[in-house]
Amino acid sequence: MSKQGLDMTSGNPFRLLIVYSFPILLGSLFQQLYNLCDTIIVGRCLGPDALAAVGNTGPMNFLVFGFLYGMTSGFAVITAQRFGAHDEEGLKKSVAMNIVLNAVTGIAITALSCALTMPLLRAIHTPQSIIGWSFDYIFTCYAGIACIILYNGCACVLRAVGDSKTPVYFLVFSSALNIALDIIFIASFGLGVFGAALATVISQGVSGILSLVWIIVKYPMLRVSARHFRVDRRFAFRHLAIGMNMGFQFSITAIGTIVVEGALNRFGPTKIAAFTAAQKVEQLVTVAAGVMGVTIANYGGQNLGAGRVDRIKEGVTKGIIISVAFAVLAAVLAMVFNVQLVSLFLDRGKVDAASWEELRAASWQYLNLTTLFYPVLFVIFIYRNVLQSIGRGFCPLMGGVFELVARSAAAFILPGLIGYAGICLSEPLAWASAAIPLAIAYYYIINRVGRSLHG
């Protein structure tokens, strides 16, 4: 089969994982930088109430868009398997199935999300003073779900055939366009938070269209015709099962963060600000965890398609080594540059000395308690995504349930015993509750898969 991209069914797994993941890592870091700039633009141009209104929609944003990201990634797992098997006809059928399922689920989720926007805002106790702005922002984002799905769907198909670079180029373009549109819509046109949301939707839509054109022009093996859209219920179910499982994993995590938010609110605004800033630092330094998850998912899918379970095992081992190395680096960065990183998100000039010291101490406490567990966080992504890539989506879903239960229980029980530290420890306890069963499930299942393919 004539192909472009990166075939990960042969060659040194360690090198392949590094080569494939590096562009994604750069893109993810750029995305983090964009998110930071976006926050600064909204806060400085519109003021603290507008920033609070946008920040208030964070759990709702994560709930829906996290699900969409997981869903589109899951649909492309079968695509990676067909590519690894050098099955061009199966590859085209999988691409067609991606198109159909993304379109149908996108319409349904858009309608449901828009209808539930105001009820959800009231359910999370949005203050009346900002609920209007919150509604304008998140409703606009939900109305543009089709643009998000178009870009994510194209990016996931490209990664499935080993092209991890092109999605990064479009991500960088999208982020730069988003920042430019933020400035135009907010500062020049005075569109407020609606302008910030509109900038996001337009930039994603433009990148999605460009990605689609790129696929059509550069990847003949991904071009589909009418016959590839013929209904195959079993094939559709396989895509849907993996996609829904991966989507629900993100949603379960989002529910857990909402629960922790509720418990955290008892400690007052200073602790909330410190916790938020510390978690932003954590998201910045641990970005490689998700990158390795995406990498191992496509590596595993391609090699399962090629019947190379031995390479999957080797790749997972190498992936864990790389992930643990990244985890140690992330912990060092978080601890050494704690004050400097937190200062990116908190303006020291706007708080008195005592409050700043409390903010610094609380953020340090969070990072001090969680950084030791970064290796656990990183390996979750390895085990979770490789299990998805070999079609065993139930175990990662249950891992997410264990994580939700542990995070929720810790958030409500530990604060009464050890105070704010209990909120901080809810995160590493949740990670461990997911990592342990996922590791056991992987080693049990991968051996069974190996025996079934070769026995």
On the question of pLDDT at 266 being above 90, the answer is: no
Average pLDDT over residues 89-104: 93
Cα distance between residue 271 and residue 52, in whole Å? 16
Q: Which band of pLDDT confidence, cut at 50, 70 and 90, is reported for residue 209?
A: very high
Rounded average pLDDT over 161-189: 86
Which of 65-74, 107-116, 350-359 has the weakest average pLDDT?
A: 350-359
Residue 162 has what pLDDT? 83
Residue 144 has pLDDT above 90, yes or no: yes
Q: Flag whether pLDDT at 139 surpasses 90.
A: yes
Confidence of residue 316 (pLDDT cuts 50, 70, 90): very high
Whether residue 282 has pLDDT greater than 80: yes
Q: Both tokens of residue 324?
A: 């643990």
Judge whether residue 2 has pLDDT over 50: no
- Predicted TM-score (pTM) of the model is 0.75
What distance in Å separates the CA atoms of residue 400 and residue 256, rounded to the nearest whole number? 10
Alpha helices, DSSP H, located in 183-232: 192-218
pLDDT confidence tier of residue 101, bands split at 50, 70 and 90? very high
Residue type, 206: V
Position 1 pLDDT exceeds 50 = no
Given a cut of 70, whether residue 307 has pLDDT beyond it is yes
Handedness of CA 415, 421, 427, 429 (dihedral sign): negative
How many residues appear in the chain? 455
Rounded Cα distance between 241 and 392, Å, is 10
Amino acid letter for position 418: I
pLDDT at position 49: 67
**Would you state the pLDDT for residue 416?**
86
pLDDT at 225 over 50: yes
Question: What pLDDT, in 10s, does the model give residues 407-437?
Answer: 889 988 998 889 889 989 999 999 999 999 9
pLDDT digits (tens, 9 = 90+) for 236-257: 888 888 888 888 877 887 788 7
Residue located via tokens 């998110």: 35
pLDDT at 366 over 80: yes
311 to each of 12, 13, 30, 302, 308, how far by Cα in Å? 9, 7, 31, 10, 5
